[in-house]
Structure 1
Amino acid sequence: MKMFTILTPTFNRATTLPRLYESLLNQTEKDFLWLVADDGSTDNTEELVNMWIAQNKIKIEYYKLPKGGQHKALQLGYYKAKTKYLVKIDSDDAFLPDAIENYKNEWEKIEAEKNKKIINICAQSMYVNGEIVGNWRFPPDIKYIDSFWHEMVLKRNNHNELSNCTLTKILKEIYPVDYKFWLEDKTNIIDGVFAPRIGKKGTTRYINTIVQVVYSDAPFSSMRSMSTYENKFWKALIDSKYFLDENFTYFFWQPRYFINLSLKLIISSIICKVSFNDLINNIDSKRLKLFILILFPLGISAYIYFRFIKKKFWI
């Protein structure tokens, strides 16, 4: 069995998948299989991937689902993965040639250290021009930091877009195939919701190594038949709700972060015409419910200000 599964959820990315495929062919370490989870593409994605499977240059598994959103493709990918480790990469990005080699070397170091607390490795991403994605930088001469999501984001302000290589069993635990979330018929639930869940399961090793190139040339392909504008607010609503609900106990680590996110939740619910009762009834945390109740008048005022005075939302 291979050591790594490289999971790519995709929808109508036949124009960008060849770039990712070429980057996989160029890997210096071949101990992986590529699992493509197709969210009902209507272009020639299926024919393209089947052609690569027939060429048999790398091990590929291809699964096509009825259209349901990236979250459904991820669920299927995590369910189907059988390797010890899993790396997710978007269908419009690419790996550097030594990406999998770097991950393998780091996991072998961790195993040699007998450090069973580490369940995830985060590596850096860069743009085509070589610039690191995000503003956070490692301290000089530091090769790695063993930490967890809440400390790195809420205390160190590391909001960089990172590549994750995670123990597959952890991903299966935090996102089982039968998992459903509130309003999942409206929009995707993004990876950022699951990163804190990984943080609660164990330690992450953040390595000062670039493994991934992030591109921005892919055409937009919304998961639902709604405008990009409308979808943006549904995403803000869902992402804010789940992050706040699951992480509100960390409020005092960075209060301003949680206040802004709570205002985003309230404003998004107003724009999406989700009733106050529906919003409150779908919040599990009692502390968050109380906080939203207290903050709601300010949220309405903020909505009026951005809607009628600024005429632009910051979300």
Structure 2
Amino acid sequence: MDKKITIITPSYNRAHSLSRVYESLKKQSFKDFKWIIMDDGSTDDTKTLVTEFQNENCFEIDYFWNENQHKFITVFEGVKKVTSPYFMIMDSDDSYPEDSLNTLFHESENIKNQDEYIGVIGNSVDEHGKIVGNIFPVEFDGSIFEMRYKYKVRGDKFGIFFTKTYQNLLKDFDYSIYQGKGYIPQSVFFNTYDAAGFKTRFINKVVRCYHLDESDQDSVSNTRWTGKNTFGLMEGYRSFLNAYGKQLWHYPKTLVRNLVGYQVYSIINKKSLKEINLGLNDFKILSLVMYPFALIYRKIQ
């Protein structure tokens, strides 16, 4: 019989931190879940560690090792394996309050028209118990765009996804084009469904403890702004502009910031102005106007 929730954890050389997730899962008050570990080509002792977890037989654990293809693709390959009604993407170095799964499951079950929703999102705290970013001014059903730009909420959030909705959207998303491209922000995908009108429920409950290990050289949090990741940053800005399109005229600062960001990282990736504009569905004239400023910004960086 299928579990109610599947936990997906993409992992790359995280044997030193994976136990933190495991210990959190063992303590969960909600027990109707399984754990899928998607090993993205680890060369450390991850497999041995996971075997030890499996031998304890506390809950169901599936382990898959793949050649390194980076988190963006690894997550989607994990999502394809989900057969439960709900799933969560847990990073390989965080921890979770004992009632995290229970909270998110019951909030999800309270949504009757789930075909209109992608999931439920709550708050994260840091290792000292302080909220990461902001709480939601109100609990509401709406878009991630509204959360960020109407309510001006910042900081990492965490939640649960509705499998049927997510997998249906993923069928139409060709992520193979990002194979071998390194770091790609998950926003490249969520911008598409968020802009298409699929709603998220935002709740002011703590469902994750975010751990930042500044010494971990494999952590995306510590490497995503470096040179090797500039293609992904370019794509993140481009997907934002193309997904939300003309509604960005109502948020001129956001539009300009993202357009210049797209142009700067395109310049770093040696794209011409013509190529930059070919990548845009809208804002081509504004792009021509802003391009000199992007060149200046790039030079003074």
Query: Could you tell me the TM-score, scaled by structure 1's length?
Result: 0.86
Larger displacement relative to structure 2 (165-174 or 79-88): 165-174
1:183 deviates by: 5.6
Residue of structure 2 in register with 1:28 after alignment: 29
Residue of structure 2 in register with 1:44 after alignment: 45
Residue of structure 2 in register with 1:160 after alignment: 155
2:226 matched to 1:216?
Answer: no
1:244 deviates by: 1.4
SS at match of 1:86: strand
2:267 is aligned, of 247, 267, 270, to 270
2:164 matched to 1:169?
Answer: yes
Residue of structure 2 in register with 1:293 after alignment: 288
Residue of structure 2 in register with 1:246 after alignment: 243
Distance 1:235 1:94 in 2: 27
Distance 2:250 2:179 in 1: 29
Q: How many pairs are equivalent?
A: 296
Larger displacement relative to structure 2 (82-91 or 192-201): 192-201
C-alpha change, 1:96 and 1:15, in structure 2 (3 Å) is same
Residue of structure 2 in register with 1:138 after alignment: 136
Distance 1:128 1:36 in 2: 24
1:201 deviates by: 4.4
Deviations 1:203-251 (A, max 9, x none): 211011001000012612178xx99631243332121112212222221
Distance 2:136 2:277 in 1: 40
Distance 2:201 2:173 in 1: 29
Q: Which amino acid aligns with 1:127?
A: D
Residue of structure 1 in register with 2:121 after alignment: 122
Q: Which amino acid aligns with 2:111?
A: I
C-alpha change, 1:186 and 1:118, in structure 2 (3 Å) is closer
1:87 deviates by: 0.8
Distance 1:194 1:128 in 2: 29
Residue of structure 1 in register with 2:106 after alignment: 105
1:54 deviates by: 2.4
Deviations 1:173-217 (A, max 9, x none): 333497236565332221233333332242211011001000012
Conserved 8 A contact 2:117-2:162: no
Conserved 8 A contact 2:238-2:262: yes
Larger displacement relative to structure 2 (167-176 or 44-53): 167-176
Distance 1:294 1:21 in 2: 52
Residue of structure 2 in register with 1:257 after alignment: 254
Distance 2:205 2:101 in 1: 12
| CA RMSD, 1 decimal | 2.3
Residue of structure 1 in register with 2:182 after alignment: 187
Conserved 8 A contact 2:108-2:119: no
1:157 deviates by: 1.3
Distance 1:231 1:169 in 2: 34
Conserved 8 A contact 2:12-2:41: yes
Conserved 8 A contact 2:5-2:86: yes
Q: Which amino acid aligns with 2:78?
A: G
Q: Which amino acid aligns with 2:132?
A: V
Distance 1:291 1:63 in 2: 46
Conserved 8 A contact 1:126-1:133: yes
2:201 matched to 1:202?
Answer: no
Distance 1:61 1:247 in 2: 37
SS at match of 2:290: helix
Conserved 8 A contact 2:136-2:151: no
1:284 deviates by: 4.9
1:253 deviates by: 3.1
2:150 matched to 1:150?
Answer: no
